[in-house]
Amino acid sequence: MSSNTDVAEASIGNPDFLHEMLPAAEKTALLYNLSYLCLAKFPSLERIIRASAVETQMVYSSSEAVLLTCMITSENMINTLFPMLKAAVKKGNAIVATQFLGKARVWIHDIIKEVESIINE
């Protein structure tokens, strides 16, 4: 997914709301670290804290990847798909317009599947 990240940053810059996630991720990591230090005498709880910290890091990175995918998809729809759809409708070509809408549906469905996989993990 790093190639998607590279493409997104090259085409749309580095969005502010993704940077706003960083302090939340850092605060969460610090809270896990503090909990870990407080539970140093309890090995079983240490393992649970470590596992939770790793899981949280994965969720943050997965969320960032999905947000970037959403941004790329919306840019593709606005800049490419919708103008082509508009032209197809103006020409009265219902088959081509339907194909473009089908393509948008597939892109949206792919994002939904990614989000569902994050939730199910």
pLDDT tens track for 45-96: 777 877 887 787 777 777 777 888 888 888 888 899 889 989 999 999 999 9
Spatial contact of 101 and 77, defined as CB atoms under 8 Å apart = no
Can you read off the two tokens belonging to residue 89?
A: 């409708």
DSSP 78: I
Spatial contact of 85 and 100, defined as CB atoms under 8 Å apart = yes
The pLDDT score that the predictor gives to residue 102 is 92
CA angle 24, 18, 75 (to 5 degrees): 155
Distance CA 48, CA 46 (A): 5
The pLDDT score that the predictor gives to residue 15 is 64
The pLDDT score that the predictor gives to residue 90 is 92
Which residue intervals of the chain are DSSP H helices? 2-12, 16-38, 43-76, 82-90, 94-120
The pLDDT score that the predictor gives to residue 21 is 67
Lowest mean pLDDT among 19-23, 30-34, 46-50, 84-88: 19-23
Q: Please state whether the predicted TM-score (pTM) of the whole model is above 0.85.
A: no
Q: Which of 50, 45, 21 is nearest to 33 (CA)?
A: 50
Ranges of each domain in the chain: 2-120
Q: Is the dihedral of CA 61, 65, 66, 67 positive or negative?
A: positive
Distance CA 32, CA 103 (A): 42
Share the mean pLDDT of the chain: 78
